[in-house]
Structure 1
Amino acid sequence: MTAPPQASTKPLRKSAVKPRKTLRELFLHRLPHYNGPYNVGYMDIEVPVRNPRPVSDLRRNGKPVLRLDTVLMGIYYPCDLQSHNGAGKPHRVDWMPRPRAATAKGYAKYLHIPALPVTAYLACTSLYTKLPAFRNAKLAAHWPEDIRNDTGPTGQKAREEEENPTSRPKFPVIIFSHGLGGSRLCYSSICGELASFGFFVIAIEHRDGSGARTYVSLPSNVEAAAIESSTADLHTNNEGKEHTSDKKVQRRRKKGVNPYYVMDYILPKDNAQDTSPHNRRGVDHILRSAQIELRQEEIKEAFYILNLINSGRGDEVASLNLRKKGNIGSSSIGLNGVDWEDWKDRMFLSKVTMMGHSFGGATTVQICRDDSLTWLGQGIILDAWGQATPPGGKTLKERITKPIISISSEVFMHWKDNFDKIVEFSNEARDSGALCWMLTVVGSTHLAMTDLAVLYPQWMSILMKSMVDPLRAVSLTTTASLEFLKIILPPEQTKYNMWADEKLLQSAEPPSEPEESLRSDHAPDHKWVAVRLKIPNEFTVRLRVWVRRTWRFIVCTGREVADLSGGLQDFGQKDEIWTHMCPTHEAVQEHLNQVR
């Protein structure tokens, strides 16, 4: 007679636990909890690259402009707070990258605003904001609780695996590329939301001079003289840039702290406003192409690190990690408490998704053209800066051949040159036979997909005339992305999904021409193209929304109301997304039949 299986000491299915609000969050700006069935963990990893070197032939003052020394990434992942066995309770993650005050000064420099008022304002609002994510929390080894109610093949398969005490879920991987002025943390609303639905999201902090400020740590065996760059100089120069002198390097080495250099935003040469649609000189393609080249190399290095972790060599990665106690920009926790055995064979490293916003969207387009990346499966392009996207080549190997979805803001769709570029690379994918969607979130502005819109909704509404609720904009972006991945990813990566699905990709038939789905109701005046929308009868619209919110607040006292946080669009309005391009239902079904 067969003995019944012993009950596991840890349940294999659990629901997410909402983090408690901190005292600061009662008064200061805060980020909302994620909506998926998993809690979210986070860790910082910075390791030296295999071949440190200058990247591209771009030079200034006779020196290389861009260098590849280390790769820095923030990893958002599904975690299990109930089974965390580290030293004490896991700590929530700071939203502003460390060192916070110096990073705030970097943003001031990027925006050409005096540092003192910027730092003071951030200190009063979001400088100490915490992510609803936990540093180094235990990687989830359970399936979502709600899946037990699934009576279909997915639930049946989950129940069969539950009987095997050694089985653990394996999660798909997304690599995220930030835009100009961005960092690994300023898209946490999207990255964390995707992680809460069961993804590893690898947010790379690029060292290509596209971020406001980033700190590049160096191994202790690297000499200052080995760093030859016009922008990453370890010596104090005449311009007073924040770099490290030889004496400071020696003092830090005596204290056991590795040297570092600061990489601030790099202005295009003789063309400071190349991002503006009114710039007569156009985009500085020499600089932007060099930056994309460096970004591609960083992405390849990041994937190499993921391979090491997934193959059971996480301890080796931890031993190389430069984000540890004492080093610049690091949490004192470092990677303490991480059980790397839990991470072995937990990632799907085939059909990896590339995702990026703005300049990161341009990076995603170019990555999806790289035929040598056999592990890359598809791309999610968020409000791409189409003008910075290199043109596709004439041969199939130089063009997009992977499925893509482009989700743009309305403000960028009214920028005709940019819209035409999005159409161009979307057609490039469609002509190769790949599935392609091109969507716009109605009433949104360029920052709607960043944490800034969530933290400062009133400023987004007043200054940029954003009309969509920022939380709804994030929800539409992540839901459309999840629906896309549910179609594109192979069955073994989606069989346990509890992903959000509003059937956004099935809501409309494709128009004959992408321009036919555009509307001009909110089209701005020429001088505000790509910056802000236009709200007809703005005073009346805002007054009506204020009255509606006030009434609902009174009537719904004690209950959460979805549209009290911001946004001028009526939630009852059905037209939340414009569909400019999408495959036919027959093409989608044919793809599903092929992968399954």
Structure 2
Amino acid sequence: MEPSAQPPKADTRLPRKSGVVPPKTLRDRLLHRLPRYTGPYNVGYMDIEVPAREPRPVSGLKRGGKPVLRLDTVLMAIYYPAEIREDFKTSDGKEELHRIDWMPRPRFATSKGYAKMMNLPWPPVTGYLASTTLFTKLPAFRNAKLAQHWPEDMKNDSGPGGQAAREEESRTETNPKFPVIIFSHGLGGSRLCYSAICGELASFGFVVVALEHRDGSAARTYVSLPGNIEANEIESSTARIVANNDDDKEHGNKRVKRRKKQELNPYYVVDYILPKDNAQDTSPHNPKGVDHKLRTAQVALRLEEIKEAFHVLELLNQGGGEEIARINLRKKGNIGSSSLGLKGVDWDDWKDSMFLDGVTIMGHSFGGATTFQACREDQLSWIGQGVALDAWGNGTPVVGDAPEEKVSKPIISLSSEAFIHWKSNFDRIVGICGEARDARQLCWMLTIVGSTHLSMSDFSVLYPNWMSFFMKSMVNPERAFYLTIAATLEFLDTTLPPQQTKYNTWLNEQLLEAGDQTKPDETLFPDHAPDDKWVAVRLKIPNEFWARIRAWFRRLRARALCRATDELDMVNGLRDFSEQPEIWTHLRPTRSQVDAHMRRASSTGQGQRSSRASK
């Protein structure tokens, strides 16, 4: 069966009308920088870490007789639509707003965590990061005011009654109310490693909660100890308790530390956890396969953290922001905290500011596996749909035959080209999509041509040359981000309740057009299939030298002709997308399935707005 592919269309991003563009700093000009967000909103950012309601070990997994995984606190970054003054000061004009460090604090210690995870000496790793991204800033502002307006260009003319009816309806709505996305990072990630995607979605009117998991999947994360938990109560084979002292001393798994000038409250460090006697369980060639005992336990902890994050959102939405600020552990005196904490946040703005029905769960790699499992959980009834980015399907917990153990929500799986050549993973994703289809839920399975696994993380835009030369990525990283966001927004425009989508300027390139294809294609362009040892890691570029020369001439010609940015996005990769597909469609619902879904939703009073995908 021939692949279903869409030719590239004109960039439909609307011009910025309400956003205030952050100025380029000297740091932005000299160091690697992240792309600015393109939606009509500026982006605010908050760090929140609160004690879990029931601190405890999670799962029965033990090493050395001690629990491996614990739930003590939940740490999240909240990216949200913000109102920014032209002078980049707080709403009262008294203080200047601050941008966010991309590397989580403490930055040098976190960089050492990356070195340890990669089994490399820390001095060269830290030195390289210091010269490139250790001091990179996000184009988002800490504790900025939550947006209190609908941008003018968000009142579109779609739907019954057209623009006039919508404008009349909007007059009765004093403040906007935003849909919510909860984001789960992959192995080695953090709450900041996907800031380009999370911030871009926030700029289009979403509240995006990016968790930093404490399941041993982050390169390094710091857990502040609440006042009601004593350090000696923490029993974990991976926790290293850090108190206040001047010298680093190792006591088994506990490292004690004192500081003379600035004392910090006790905390513990969770570094990346390798499977026991199976360190390479993520490798496609590992004869032992996936360590499902560890991975299932990690997913279980991730789901508990997701529940805790949703509880925080409920409190904020109910007007409990002051209570969240009171118990917040990311404040002065605690490890990894900005001195600002949550200072300057107007919690009244957050009351009744979010739609907490039909929340979207989204994740990359192992976070994609978490997304699929969350869409199986009956207890997470407030989750409406899932977006899996290059999911590690083999890391998803194996389920039984019971209906409640299968995906029962609409899902979209967006993969990199490198991952579709990993046959066992491809087959696993197809099987998970089959669960959704068996449950009569809408399901799409797409691949971004020329992309590799890290194309959906910030690393691709911060280190594009490394991605091109070592991972053999052939797509421009910013174009890959654009396609990821465009497909995600079209999916959400179809699956979210209509009250959450009635005012939007979301991208629509009709990437998700309904059709008749019902069977998945596997390897579509075998010329780019890597050698067996590089499966899922990188692609093969036939005649690589000449491919790079041709790409250089395409870029030179495009710049000489002063082509538009969207055209440059397409030619800046090694592949020429002017006449070739950018996205392959493996699975999609038929028009009749989309129509049936809309009828079922409408009949239950929870009608969901049909996008152009069903037209």
TM over 0.5: yes
Map of 1:96-495 to 2, 5 A cutoff? 96-147=103-154, 150=157, 153=161, 155-161=163-169, 163-164=171-172, 167-234=174-241, 238=250, 243-245=254-256, 248=258, 257-495=264-502
Which residue in the other structure is 2:521 paired with? Answer: 515
Distance in 2 between the 1:81 and 1:22 partners?
17
Distance in 2 between the 1:427 and 1:138 partners?
43
Q: Contact conserved, 1:407 with 1:440, CA < 8 A, in 2?
A: yes
Opposite residue 369 of structure 2, the aligned amino acid is A
Distance in 1 between the 2:453 and 2:528 partners?
14
Map of 1:42-121 to 2, 5 A cutoff? 42-82=45-85, 84-85=90-91, 87-121=94-128
Which residue in the other structure is 1:573 paired with? Answer: 579
Q: Deviations over 1:432-491 (max 9, x none)?
A: 111110111111000000000011111100001000110111111111011001000111
**TM-superposed deviation, 1:554:** 3.3
**TM-superposed deviation, 1:512:** 4.4
Q: Deviations over 1:348-375 (max 9, x none)?
A: 0000000010000001111110012111
Distance in 2 between the 1:211 and 1:92 partners?
23
Q: Contact conserved, 2:240 with 2:270, CA < 8 A, in 1?
A: no
Task: Give the TM-score taking structure 2 as reference length.
Answer: 0.90
Distance 1:417 1:167, change over 3 A: same
Distance in 2 between the 1:557 and 1:532 partners?
30
**TM-superposed deviation, 1:391:** 2.0
Q: Deviations over 1:146-195 (max 9, x none)?
A: 2356486463354225544x611100000000000000000011101111
Q: Deviations over 1:234-259 (max 9, x none)?
A: 16775887x542x73xx79x966321
Q: Deviations over 1:91-122 (max 9, x none)?
A: 11111100111111111111111111111111
Distance in 2 between the 1:328 and 1:559 partners?
42
Q: Contact conserved, 2:478 with 2:569, CA < 8 A, in 1?
A: no
Q: Contact conserved, 1:517 with 1:580, CA < 8 A, in 2?
A: no
Distance in 1 between the 2:344 and 2:169 partners?
28
Distance 1:199 1:443, change over 3 A: same
**TM-superposed deviation, 1:233:** 3.1
Q: Contact conserved, 2:155 with 2:503, CA < 8 A, in 1?
A: no
Gaps of 5+ in 1: 1-12
- Larger mean Cα displacement after TM superposition, 113-122 or 556-565: 556-565
Distance 1:147 1:60, change over 3 A: closer
What is the aligned length? 577
Q: Contact conserved, 1:405 with 1:436, CA < 8 A, in 2?
A: yes
Distance 1:560 1:516, change over 3 A: closer
Distance 1:271 1:345, change over 3 A: same
**TM-superposed deviation, 1:547:** 1.4
**TM-superposed deviation, 1:42:** 0.6
Which residue in the other structure is 1:592 paired with? Answer: 598
Distance in 2 between the 1:558 and 1:117 partners?
39
**TM-superposed deviation, 1:15:** 1.3
The alignment partner of 2:71 has SS state of strand
Q: Deviations over 1:202-261 (max 9, x none)?
A: 0000000001000001123421111011101316775887x542x73xx79x96632101
The alignment partner of 1:156 has SS state of helix
Q: Contact conserved, 1:510 with 1:580, CA < 8 A, in 2?
A: no
Q: Contact conserved, 1:511 with 1:517, CA < 8 A, in 2?
A: no
Distance in 2 between the 1:355 and 1:305 partners?
18
**TM-superposed deviation, 1:145:** 2.4
The alignment partner of 2:146 has SS state of coil
Which aligned runs of 4 or more in structure 1 are off by greater than 6 angstroms? 557-561
The alignment partner of 1:222 has SS state of coil
Distance in 2 between the 1:154 and 1:340 partners?
34
Distance in 2 between the 1:342 and 1:529 partners?
48
- Larger mean Cα displacement after TM superposition, 522-531 or 80-89: 80-89
Cα RMSD for the two superposed structures: 2.2
**TM-superposed deviation, 1:59:** 0.4
Opposite residue 473 of structure 1, the aligned amino acid is A
Distance in 1 between the 2:17 and 2:475 partners?
33
Distance 1:188 1:154, change over 3 A: farther
Q: Contact conserved, 1:178 with 1:184, CA < 8 A, in 2?
A: yes
Larger RCO: 1 or 2 (CA < 8 Å, sep 6+): 2
Distance 1:106 1:123, change over 3 A: same
Distance in 1 between the 2:154 and 2:328 partners?
37
Distance in 2 between the 1:393 and 1:428 partners?
11
| 1:501 and 2:508 matched | yes
The alignment partner of 1:143 has SS state of coil
Distance in 2 between the 1:585 and 1:162 partners?
32
Which residue in the other structure is 1:18 paired with? Answer: 21
Q: Contact conserved, 1:161 with 1:167, CA < 8 A, in 2?
A: no
Distance 1:560 1:415, change over 3 A: closer
Q: Contact conserved, 2:456 with 2:481, CA < 8 A, in 1?
A: yes
Opposite residue 62 of structure 1, the aligned amino acid is G
**TM-superposed deviation, 1:419:** 0.2
Q: Contact conserved, 2:44 with 2:143, CA < 8 A, in 1?
A: yes
Opposite residue 34 of structure 2, the aligned amino acid is L
Q: Deviations over 1:362-395 (max 9, x none)?
A: 0111111001211111110111101111123211
The alignment partner of 2:386 has SS state of strand
**TM-superposed deviation, 1:521:** 2.4
The alignment partner of 1:514 has SS state of coil
Task: Give the TM-score taking structure 1 as reference length.
Answer: 0.93
The alignment partner of 2:273 has SS state of coil
Q: Contact conserved, 1:177 with 1:363, CA < 8 A, in 2?
A: yes
Distance in 1 between the 2:488 and 2:227 partners?
41
Opposite residue 288 of structure 2, the aligned amino acid is R
Distance in 2 between the 1:557 and 1:301 partners?
48
Distance in 2 between the 1:480 and 1:524 partners?
26
Aligned residues: percent identity? 64
Distance in 1 between the 2:571 and 2:97 partners?
29
Distance in 1 between the 2:252 and 2:121 partners?
15
Which residue in the other structure is 1:39 paired with? Answer: 42
**TM-superposed deviation, 1:495:** 0.6
The alignment partner of 1:394 has SS state of coil
Q: Contact conserved, 1:14 with 1:143, CA < 8 A, in 2?
A: no
Which residue of 533, 543, 547 corresponds with 2:539? Answer: 533
Opposite residue 16 of structure 1, the aligned amino acid is G
